[in-house]
Structure formats: C-alpha cells, structure tokens
Structure 1
Amino acid sequence: MIELKNDALRVQINEHGAELSSVMSVDDHLEYLWQADPKFWGRHAPILFPIVGRLKDDQYRLNGQTYHMTQHGFARDMDFMVVEHEDDHAVFQLNATAETKAKYPFDFDLRVTFELDEHTLSVHYTVTNPSSDETLPFSIGGHPAFNVPLIPEEGGFENYSVTVAPKKTYPQIPLNGPYNDVQHEKMLNLTTPMVLDHDLFDRDALILDLDHVETTLLLSTQLNDHGVALTLQNAPYVGIWSPYPKRAPFVCLEPWWGIADNVNADGEFLNKMSLQLAAPQSAFNAGYQIRFF
C-alpha cells in the first residue's frame, strides 16, 4: 500500500489496480472513500481500461479475430509498478503483457499519477502508444466511490445531494441492460441539486453527456460541512452510480473517456462509440481533481 500525506489528508493507494483505497482527514479521521464491503460492492475506486462499461456479449472483433474482455477491462485486476513515490505524489505504471495481449492485442504504457495538494487529490492518466506504425484505440475512466453518509450519525442517503456546475439541463444517456441507448437520450434538469434516492439508480448509472466541458459535481449535505467536489476538465461523460436494489451507503462519481457498447453495436472494436485514439508514439492525457472538505 502506497501512502500520500500532508497536514490535511492521508491517502492510501493499492498497487493492485492502482486503486485509491482510503482518503482520511488528519484532524477528525473522517473516511471519505467507500471501504469495499463486499455485501454491497467490493471495490473502492477501480481504474477502467482499456474499456469503460461492457462490450456486447463481452467480446469484440478486430482484424477478423474475436477477443473476449469483461466489463471495464483488465487494469483494475492487475498489479501496477510504482515508478515514483513522495509524500505528495505517486506514479503507477502498467504495460502490456502476454496476458493482456490475449484480450487486447496492443502494446501500451498506462501511467496513473496521484498528486496531493492541501485538501485536493489530482488523478492523471497518461496512455502512451509505443508503436511506430499502429494507432492505439482504447477507453479509460475512473470509478471512485464516496461514503454516503460521510458521518453515519448525521443523516442518511436521502440527506445528501449532487450539485452539478454549470447548472443546466444535461443530455442523459440511458442504459438498456448494460449497454448505452443514446438513440433514446433523455434530458436531466440539474439547475437545482439532485437529492439522492436509491430509486434514481433503478436503471443503473445516470450518465451525463458533458461534451468535454469543464464540470464539477458536489456531493454534500445540509446537515454538516463535509463533502467532496469532483472536477473534470475534458471528459465526454460522467456516471453517477449506486448499486440497485441494494441500499448501499455510497455513491460513485465516475469520469469517463469512453462508454459501454451501444445497444446496436456491430462488435467491431474500431467502430466502438467514444473510442480514444493515440497515434503512433504519442500520448493521451486526461484527469480529474477531488477536493475533500
């Protein structure tokens, strides 16, 4: 377990999956991050790579060959190498192996950087394509889960809300089973805070189309001064999720550079919706920040 620390926060990151596992305030020992109780969901904040969401029948075709890959890809279940570590930052690296190439036949260099600055944790993804002649297609995303309520003695799930800035009505991409159904896009009015209710997630995640506009999601309650604010600079989507029908005491705010297969996907990987493309010997960069208060 790798630890970052300053006067405000102590952060723990597991080399397995480069998964953020704890964010605790130094003053009052408040744990912000979901602690992976398998009764509800046995993860904290997995990294989604090289796909976000699910493929049609957990498979795809590329150059006439069929490959199998399960939901959210394989990075979350692999051990990363720690290539840098100081009190205020750490860099984790994952490269292609024979195991990954059986599912995803590309060379890649994935680096995840965590940087702590006062009450803010920044997460940065760099996906480098080492090939000299082949484009690297992929998706990537985050899946951090936050305790709701943050203080169990002070209120419950329905006492919390998610406020989105800019305040406006957002295109919402519904899910039909595990697949996106953008053909039946809805509109979600977020000009006022969205009060949390487990029934919001009866069709899985709420997916907002951000159109790469800088967006902040504030998870908070009127019962105390604690909460989290997640800011994305250039993401096409953000997912808001809590498992249903379980009444789980957490909510995920998920920055995505990719999305599950469309209901009408033809199975060809290069036709996949919202695929990112890294040119030969170039790098893709993305990230987000979480402020804890």
Structure 2
Amino acid sequence: MDNLGIDFLSEVAGTAMLVLLGTSVVANVALIKTKGYNGGFLMVTIGWGLAVFSGVVVAYNSGAHLNPAVTLGLVANGAKTFGSAALHTLVPVNIGTILTYIAGQFLGAIIGAVITWLAYKQHFDEEPEPANKLGVFSTGPAIRSYGWNLVTEIIGTFVLVFVVIAFGHQSPGVGLSALGALPVALLVIAIGASLGGPTGYAINPARDLGPRIAHFFLPIRGKGSSDWAYSWVPVVGPVIGGVLAGLLAMWILPIIK
C-alpha cells in the first residue's frame, strides 16, 4: 500500500476511535438508565479529551489530524507534507491528499458513531427525549443564535489549531502525533471547560457532521430531527477558525532557524 493509502486508513481509524469514545461518554451521561447518567458536563469534557488522546495514539501514521479544520489550518500555515517522517509515510500536500485526509476523517467519524449506537442500543430505545439522542451524535447550542454560535465555534477552533501549531513549531514532524497525545488531550479539555458552554464545542466538522449523518440513517427509535438547520455552524465555524489560526500563526509564531 502506498503512503497515501496508509495515511487514509490511519485517519479513518484514529477518527473512528475519537468519535467512538467521545460520543459514548455523551451517551453515558445523557441516556437514561446508564451507569454514568447525569454525570455532568465536566465528565463529558474529560471524556472528549481522553477520546482525542486515544485517537491521536491510533493515528500515528498520518500525523493524526483527525479534523478537517486541523488539516486546512496546517495547509494555511504552509505545510508541504502530511504524515510521519519517522515512519516514512509522508505525502506531498496537494488537493488530492487534502481531500483524502478529509474523506478519511468523515468516514471514521461515521463509523465511530455507528459503533456508539450499537454499544448503547438498549439505552437509545429506553430514552424518551429525542434531543438527548441527537445530543449523543452532534452538538447543539445552549442559546440558538446562528451568528453568535458561529463566532463561538470560530474562536474555539482557532485556539485548537493555533496551539497545535505552536506545539508543532517546538518539535519535529507535522500533525498532532508529533506532539505526543497528552498535550493535545489537555488542550481539548481546556477548550471544553472554558469555551464549550455556548455550543458544545464541536471544533471539528467531521466530529459533528459525520455522526449527524449516522443519526439520520440509523434506525433509532423515536430519534426525531437531525437538526440540519444548525448543522452548517459546526462545519463552517471550525473551518474558518482553523484557517485563520494557520494564517495568523505564520506571523505570530514564526520558526526561528
């Protein structure tokens, strides 16, 4: 298999692991009769951070982007290659590799969400509130105001990508895996605890839209709407935030040689 194929599978596997564990912690807190029912937002935030940790560990071959906003942010920051230099899986950055990475992320996100549904099938059947079922798969605003929700997602994703790039400038390699998984996990927990209140901090188009698609096609009893009216916010906001972070980091976070 060529390097791009390896990187594609790495992004699929890593993003699937991230979404499986991340959506499952929400299911554990939100769905009735689980052991973690009503565990609270802090439990969700820590769970998502550890989900990112696990996804980054799994996606070592590809550089562990796991997020279209990270991929596009690195492109905006001038990345010339994706992958792992140490493992010889580098590929040149071009439209084909960008789309391959993003396709792997969305496919992995859908797979992870489907597995979460299988794990919590009985609890989905017991849960009376459609909103709680959708909340396992995708984010939603605490106060619905599309413009301000968009601003929140831009800010949260800017912080994610900007700090990732800052970490990357201090260590060799491209992508999150070069940093070590723990710093990235702590960063995600910090974003969730500080900026997650208004929108649930999607900060990742694949993490939100992929599971939302799974919610739409899965045979979930009494699932209700997939809230497509809001679905563009956690896609557009993170893309804008990631690209802005990549561009501004070129000026604010220069690499001194």
- TM-score (normalizing by structure 1): 0.26
**Bigger strand share:** 1
**Bigger helix share:** 2
* Larger relative contact order (Cα-Cα within 8 Å, sequence gap ≥ 6): 2
